Chains A and B, each alone.
Chain A
Amino acid sequence: MSIKLEKVVETFYQNLEAGKITGRKCLKCGAVEFPPVYACNSCGCWDMEWVVISGKASMHSIVLPAALSSRPEYKDLGKYAYGEVELEEGARFNAVVRGISRKNRPALLEKLPIPCRAAIYQRDGYKTVVFDLDEEE
């Protein structure tokens, strides 16, 4: 397959508007790139296909927002933390996970990695991806 000049970013955000969270899967090694990019960072192959991610994920670290790391517009997130998130499909990245506060952090730290689930979140003019603690797990 040849390299295509294509709008990966726009497609990702359009998919979010349609209610789908998508990544790109390597046709050679099967690794999933999230957020989606042209080539696989695991094996270097650029033959990729779009996949809808399941949304199942786990959180591996917890950092709470503070003066330097919060902004007024983040208030709509409610209680949240930052950390390393791993999708069921394998991709790892930094993300927001809602439902974490100073109060429940000590108990959550004991259980790392903790299950969480992807959600589509409306920001000012576009949608993005955040995660919620998976209470059912």
Chain B
Amino acid sequence: MNQTTIHPYQRSVSIIGVGCTPFMYTVDNPETDGLTEGELFGYAALKAMEDASVSPRDVDFYFHGEASPLNGSNYLTPNIQIGNWFGMKGKGSIHHSEACCTGYLAIEQAVNAVASGKYNCVLTGCVEFGDSVPAPFGPNDTVETPKHPYKRVKMTMERFLATTMWLYDRNYARSMIAPMNLIYDDVAEDYVRTRGITAQQMDDTLNWMAINNRRNAARNPLAIERREFKDIAKEKGFDDVMDYMRSPYNPKMGDFLRMEGVERKCDGAAAAIVCATEMIPEIVKNLKHKPIQVLGIGSAACEATTPHFEIRATEEAVRQVYALTGVKPEELDLFFANDFIITSHLYAAEIAGYLPYGEGWKYICEGRTAFDGDKPINTNGGRTSFGHAHAASGLADVYEACLQMRGACGERQVKRLPRTTMLRGYGGSQNVAAIILRTLE
């Protein structure tokens, strides 16, 4: 496969502020039903500015990410439609869309813009309505025809699955059937075959990833699912949580994958303020925390006819960022992986060397990857429990990473203060990013 050598930034760039909404099913709750794109994005953006101790006047440009703006918002140019909401009217912006990888490439875009010297301080944010669509939007309606100025209706799973086809090449991937259907189980199959574990061991590993994610989310006020599986199991009459996870309450949805290993699609927004490190003293008068430097970002993309597309692209992105930064896997204190198919977090962590090859499944089954373990992964709860507001999820991971690295995560704070974090972004059949963050001393 093709490889790329990436080069050092022209100047150091740091994340100085982060913001995130709760991830939620907005139309299910009268308090959130009626929230709009500008309100979600604007909240996250202003929270990030507040966190960075900057005002909108200090910010030069904004990046806007949304995975499915036509379907979810009835917009072709979503960055413009929310441009008045956070005090940056008239400033330049651009929209980008890389499906579930959008929030990770949001950091890539912002860092590149600052590292080049064009801007000193930029906002990068993402918003998604993954669980609702503009109303009216019945079965006979189309994406072009919502009439009401702000009301939304629930997006059915049938509708969602129909739109996920938009992620795949119409010329070959859809017609050949296999490319768009391998996303669910390809990684699990590969792991079983190459590591020599049994299908039962993989099933247990998938269930433990869901349990660990939920333990983390239970301690995160922004997460969408906060009830631990052990408590749900007891309520359903199971003494052993694994008996519950193997029961029809958690049915097989794939060859390996079970229901609780699939994302909770939902609504939300997240944002970050990215600044030239050398300019922080000039732009920020009273920064209350340490900046977090973006050491490097590896990138790769494999469309879905490519065998093992997630694995191959992750290997390349991780190779690039290690080659650039010189960081060693043993230096990573914290790991995030976009796990809308939960298997991703096992496999990506092994590719990054955060978990040892062929042994990662044991770490997971022993609970060592939960927030209180020695190899924490997805401390916010991951896509299966924190929720998945598609574009926004990557920046929600960046938000969590920064808070963990500041020691500001309260009861879900990891045991040892992380200094170096890797985030593996993935999505859109398939874009992949490998980001390394390090706290500036």
Contacts and interface: CB of A to CB of B under 8 A. Distances in A.
B30 to A, nearest CB: 32
Interface stretch (B184-192, B282-290, B324-332, B410-418): B184-192
Nearest to B304: A94
A63 B185 contact: yes
B181 A95 contact: no
Interface in B98-133: none
Interface in B239-261: 251-255, 257
Interface residues of B, number: 30
Say what secondary structure dominates the interface of chain B. loop
Contacts of B1: 41
Nearest to B192: A109
A69 B262 CA distance: 13
Nearest to A66: B254
B258 to A, nearest CB: 10
B200 interface: no
B193 interface: yes
Contact of A62 (B171, B176, B189, B308): B189
A2 interface: no
Contact of B307 (A69, A92, A112): A92
A21 to B, nearest CB: 12
Given A67-B252, A92-B307, A93-B307, A35 B186 contact: no
B88 interface: no
A40 B307 CA distance: 17
Nearest to B169: A35
A64 B255 contact: yes
A132 interface: no
Contact of A69 (B255, B306, B309): B255
B409 interface: no
Given A61-B189, A128-B176, A69 B305 contact: no
Contacts of B440: none
16 contacts: A9-B172, A61-B190, A61-B307, A61-B308, A63-B255, A65-B181, A67-B251, A68-B181, A68-B262, A69-B254, A93-B307, A94-B182, A96-B176, A96-B177, A109-B193, A128-B177
Interface of B: 1-2, 171-172, 175-179, 181-182, 184-186, 189-190, 193, 251-255, 257, 262, 304-309
Nearest 9 A-B pairs (CB), nearest first?
Answer: A84-B307, A69-B181, A82-B178, A35-B172, A94-B178, A128-B175, A94-B179, A66-B254, A64-B255
Interface of A: 9, 35, 41, 60-70, 74, 82-84, 92-96, 109, 112, 123, 126, 128-130
